[in-house]
Structure 1
Amino acid sequence: MRRIMATLAATGILAAPAYATDITALSPAERAAFGRAVAQYLHANPQVIADAIEAAQPKPPDLYAEDRERDLSLIAQHGKMLFDRNADGFGPTAAPVVIALIRHPDCPSCDTAEADLRALSKQVPFRTRLLSMEEAAPFMAAMDMTDAPAYVFENMVLSGAMPPAVIERYIKDRLP
C-alpha cells in the first residue's frame, strides 16, 4: 500500500490533500497512472487479492459450537474428579499433562488402553487418572456417554479404543 501511495504522490494524484481528491474526477492521465500503480502493487503483492477474496467469503456456521462449549463446561465442572493427581492412577503426579481413562472391568479394549498408556508413560511425561465407569458415572451421564474406554483431556473427550499413536500425539500436543 505504501508503494501505491508513493507512486500516486509522485504522479501528482495525491498532490492535493486527501480529503480534496475526488477519485472519480481523475483525468485520463491520472486514471492511467493510478491503474498502473495498482496493477504494479497487486502484481508484487498477490496475497492482497487472496486475502480480500477470503474476507469476502461468508463464514460457515459452526454447527458444533454449542455442543463443544457444553462439553468443555462439563469437563471443567467435573475436573476435580477427572484430573485428581493424587487419586488412583500412574505417571508422575507433577507431570505437565493429566488425562483421565474411564474404563470398565470387563472390557478388553479398556485393558489394552491402560496397557498402552502405561507403556507410553515410560517415554512421555504425563499422568493418567484411572476411573471406573461407576466412579465417572455423573460425568458420563452428563456427557451422554455409555461406552468405555474413554480418554478425557482438559479440552476434549475421545470415546472408544484409540491407537497408541493418536493418544501419544494428543498428549505431546499438550506438553509445554
Structure 2
Amino acid sequence: MRRLTAALLLGATLSTPAAAFDISAMSPEEKEAFGTAVRDYLMENPEVLIESINVLESRQAQDAATTDLQLVQQHQADLFEDEASWVGGNPEGDLTMVEFIDYRCGVCRQFNQEVHDAVEEDGNIRLILKEFPILGEDSVRSSRFAIAVLQEAGPEAYAKAHDALMALRTPATPAALEEIAGDIGIDAPAVMARMDSDDVTAVLAANQALGQAMAIQGTPTFVIGDQMLRGVPRAGVAETIAQIRETM
C-alpha cells in the first residue's frame, strides 16, 4: 500500500498542475508521510530518477541548441562578413566555417591539422579564423602577432604564421615571434611594431565583444553554417561537416 501511495503521489507531482496538488495545504504529519513515501518509492525504484535525469538533460541540450541557433542568426554579419579576419579554404564556398582560436590552447593545436584537412578534402568550405586569446599574456601576444602579420603581409603570410604559432611549444616571446617572422620571410621589425597598434587592438576588441555576446567561454568554438559547436565535435570535424551538409 505504501508503494502504491508513493507512486500515485509521485505521479501527481510530475504530471499534475501545481494548483491541483498543493503540498502547502498538507498538515505537518501529512507532509512527513508524503516525503517518507516518495523517498521509499525512489529508493526501491531508482530507475525513475535515471529516467527523469535523462529527460532533463535532453531538454537542456535542446534548449541550448535552440539558443545557439538564435545567437548565430543574430550575429551573422560579425561572424561571416568580418573583413578583419583571415579567410581561407574556398572563398566562394557554399558553407562557411568560423573557428574561434587561442594559440596556447592544447585542443586547438591538436585539431589544427584536422580542421585544415577537412576543409581541403571538402573543397567547398569558406574558413574564417577569429583570434580569441583567453589563456594569458602568451595567448594575447600570439594573437597580436598573427593579426599584425595579416595586416602587414597579407593572407598567405598569415596562414604560415598561424601554423607556426600552433606548432610553437616554447613561450611566445618577442624573440620567438621575430624568429617566426624571419622563417616565413616577412618584415619582422614592421610586424613587431604593428602588434600594439590601434588597428590590431580593434580586431581583438571586436572578437572579444562577439565572443561575449555569443557566450563563448572556451576554444575552439566552431560555427559551421547555422550550427554552433562549443568544442571539437565528437564525431570529428569532417564527419560533422558532412552531417551539417545533409541538412542544407
User: Normalising to structure 2: TM-score of the pair?
Assistant: 0.40
Matching residue of 1:50: none
Larger Rg belongs to: 1
Alpha carbons of structure 1 residues 94 and 113: separation in structure 2 relative to 1, 3 Å: same
Q: Shift of the alpha carbon at 1:85?
A: 7.8
Matching residue of 1:138: 209
Does the aligned pair in 2 maintain the 1:113–1:162 contact within 8 Å? no
Deviations 1:150-173, CA, capped at 9 Å, x for gaps = 11123322222446x521122123
Deviations 1:78-118, CA, capped at 9 Å, x for gaps = 11222238641310111111111000122232133332211
State how far apart, in whole Å, the 2-side matches of 1:122 and 1:167 are: 12
Aligned-partner SS, 1:95: coil
Q: Shift of the alpha carbon at 1:129?
A: 0.6
Given residue 63 of structure 1, which amino acid in structure 2 is its aligned partner?
R
Alpha carbons of structure 1 residues 82 and 112: separation in structure 2 relative to 1, 3 Å: farther
Aligned-partner SS, 1:122: helix
State how far apart, in whole Å, the 1-side matches of 2:209 and 2:93 are: 26
State how far apart, in whole Å, the 1-side matches of 2:230 and 2:63 are: 19
State how far apart, in whole Å, the 2-side matches of 1:123 and 1:89 are: 17
Deviates more, 1:60-69 or 1:120-129: 60-69
Please report the RMSD computed on the Cα atoms of aligned residues, expressed in angstroms.
2.7
Alpha carbons of structure 1 residues 168 and 77: separation in structure 2 relative to 1, 3 Å: same
Aligned-partner SS, 2:59: coil
User: How many residues are aligned here?
Assistant: 116
Q: What are structure 1's unaligned runs of at least 5 residues? A: 1-59
Matching residue of 2:59: 63
Given residue 149 of structure 1, which amino acid in structure 2 is its aligned partner?
P
Matching residue of 2:239: 169
Matched, 1:104 2:112: no
Q: Higher helix share goes to which structure?
A: 2
Does the aligned pair in 2 maintain the 1:85–1:127 contact within 8 Å? no
- Picking from 113, 117, 120, the partner of 1:119 is 117
State how far apart, in whole Å, the 1-side matches of 2:240 and 2:81 are: 19
Consecutive aligned runs of 4 or more in structure 1 exceeding 4 Å deviation: none
Does the aligned pair in 2 maintain the 1:84–1:129 contact within 8 Å? no
State how far apart, in whole Å, the 1-side matches of 2:65 and 2:119 are: 28
Alpha carbons of structure 1 residues 69 and 158: separation in structure 2 relative to 1, 3 Å: closer
Does the aligned pair in 2 maintain the 1:101–1:149 contact within 8 Å? yes
Does the aligned pair in 2 maintain the 1:90–1:118 contact within 8 Å? no
Matching residue of 2:226: 155
- The percentage of aligned residue pairs carrying the same residue is 17
Alpha carbons of structure 1 residues 96 and 174: separation in structure 2 relative to 1, 3 Å: farther
State how far apart, in whole Å, the 2-side matches of 1:174 and 1:68 are: 14
State how far apart, in whole Å, the 2-side matches of 1:171 and 1:161 are: 12
User: Normalising to structure 1: TM-score of the pair?
Assistant: 0.54
Does the aligned pair in 1 maintain the 2:114–2:237 contact within 8 Å? no
- Picking from 76, 81, 87, the partner of 1:84 is 81
Given residue 108 of structure 1, which amino acid in structure 2 is its aligned partner?
G
Alpha carbons of structure 1 residues 77 and 168: separation in structure 2 relative to 1, 3 Å: same
